[in-house]
Amino acid sequence: MKYIDEFRDGALARQIAERIAAEVKPDHPYRFMEFCGGHTHAISRYGVLELLPPNVRMIHGPGCPVCVLPIGRVDLAIALALQHDVILCTYGDTMRVPASDNLSLTKAKARGGDIRMVYSAADALQLARNNPDKQVVFFAIGFETTTPPTALVIRDAAREGLKNFSVMCSHVLTPPAIRAILDGGRPSAGPPQAGSAPSGGSDPHEVGERGGHASHETAEIEGFVGPAHVSIIIGSDPYAKFATEYQKPVVIAGFEPLDVLQAILMLVRQVNEGRAEVENEFIRAVTPQGNLNAQALMDEIFELREAFEWRGLGTMPLSALRIREKYQTFDAEHRFDLTYQAVPDNKACECGAILRGVKEPRDCKIFGTVCTPENPVGSCMVSSEGACAAHYTYGRFRDIPVVAATAEEAA
C-alpha cells in the first residue's frame, strides 16, 4: 500500500494545485477533457476539482466502455440468452445496462435466461469447458484494455477445438473516439486513408484516420488527459497525430490524484507555451510503443469493422473490431446469424451529450431523481466508470437540484 499511498499524498496534491494556480493565466479559460472514465472517478473521488482554479475546467469524455455501448448491442445479447438457449456471460457492469422494452441482462436473467457475470474472459472459456452440452457466448466489451484477453480465449478455444464457445465482439477503439471529439461531430472529408481498411494487415491499435461519422455537437477543448490502461496496450505514439493535426496537447496520466494533478499542470504549461505535444506522465507503466505482444495477438484475432454504432457519438467507421474470418467459427454474430438494429436512447436521458462533453450529469433533468445507481435510465449511471455514477457517488448533494434547493432553504 505504501507505493499507492505515495500517489495520494494530500500535502503534495496541494503543492501541485498551488503551482497550477500560480501558472494559469487569469483571463484564459482552460478546457481539458479527461477521456477515460477512470480519471472522471478519480477527479470526483479525491476532490481534484476543488483544488483547481475556477478557470480550469475538466470535461468528461467517452472513455467508459459500458457507457458507449448502444442499446442495440445489449438487445442482441438478450436475444441470444432468451431465444437461442445459450449460457451468456459478460462483465458485471454490462448486466445492468438498460435495453429495449424495459429490459436489461439482469432482468432477462430473471425471465429465465441463463446469464452469468464473469470477472474475466478466461472465466467464460472455463464455463464452456465445464458445460460441453451447452453453447456458451461471451459478450465481450471494452476498449483496447480488455481486448487482448478476449483475443487470448478465442485463440485458446481454437487450439482446443471447442465447438460450444463463441464471442459476441463489441470491442471499440480509443483513437477514433478522440478524433470524433476533435472533429466537432462534423463528417470528415474524404474516405479513410490507406492502411485503415478493415481487412488484411490492418493495425487495430493504429486506427483513427479520417472517415465520415454521424454529426453531433461535441465539446470544445484545449487538450486531453490521455487514458492510462489503454495506453499501456497501445503506447503513447498513436496520440501524436492528434497533437500534430489538431494542435491539441495530450498528457497520458495514471489514475491516482497526484497523476491527474500533474497531468493538468503539464497541459496548462503546454497551452501557456503554445505547444501541442504528447507527454507521458504515466512513465511507470506506459511506453511509446506499448505492449507489442498484446498488439500482435489482437491483430491475429481481430480486424476493423467497417462501421460501428457508439452511444452518443453515432455510427463511426473503423472504430471497432470484429473477429477475423480465420476464427469465424467463434464469432457469435456469425454462428447465430444475428442482425444488428439500432435503437434510440431514452429521450429523457442525456447520456449521449455527457459522453460528448457538451453536458454534465447535473444538466440532466432525471439525474439523481428518476435515474440513480439503483434504477439507472442511462448507461452513464450504470458503470463504475460512468460520469453520472461518479457525480452521484461523490458529489450528489451538490449536483442534484432538489437537494441543493433544500440545502439553501435550510441555510
* Tens-place pLDDT, residues 188-230: 433 333 233 333 344 555 544 444 444 567 778 999 999 999 9
Report the chain's mean pLDDT, rounded to a whole number.
89
Question: Alpha carbon of 223 to those of 178, 319, 362, 409: distances in Å?
Answer: 11, 21, 23, 39
Q: Are 314 and 72 in contact (CB under 8 A)?
A: no
pLDDT tens digits, 24-82: 999 999 999 999 999 999 999 999 999 999 999 999 999 999 999 999 999 999 999 99
pLDDT mean over 4-30: 92
Task: For residue 93, give every residue at least 6 positions away whose Cβ sits within 8 Å of its Cβ, in sequence order, or none.
Answer: 66, 382, 383, 384, 385
- What's the whole-model pTM score? 0.88
**What pLDDT is stored for residue 10 in this prediction?**
86
**What pLDDT is stored for residue 203 in this prediction?**
54
**What pLDDT is stored for residue 400 in this prediction?**
61
Please choose, from the candidates 37, 276, 72, 32, the residue with its C-alpha nearest in 3D space to the C-alpha of residue 174.
37
**What pLDDT is stored for residue 125 in this prediction?**
98
Q: Are 221 and 32 in contact (CB under 8 A)?
A: yes
**What pLDDT is stored for residue 198 in this prediction?**
37
Q: What count of other Cβ atoms lies within 10 Å of the Cβ of residue 361?
A: 26
pLDDT tens digits, 264-297: 999 999 999 999 999 999 999 999 999 999 999 9
The band of 184, judged by pLDDT with boundaries at 50, 70 and 90, is: confident
pLDDT tens digits, 340-399: 999 999 999 999 999 999 999 999 999 999 999 889 999 999 987 899 999 998 875 555
Per cent of the chain over pLDDT 70 is 87
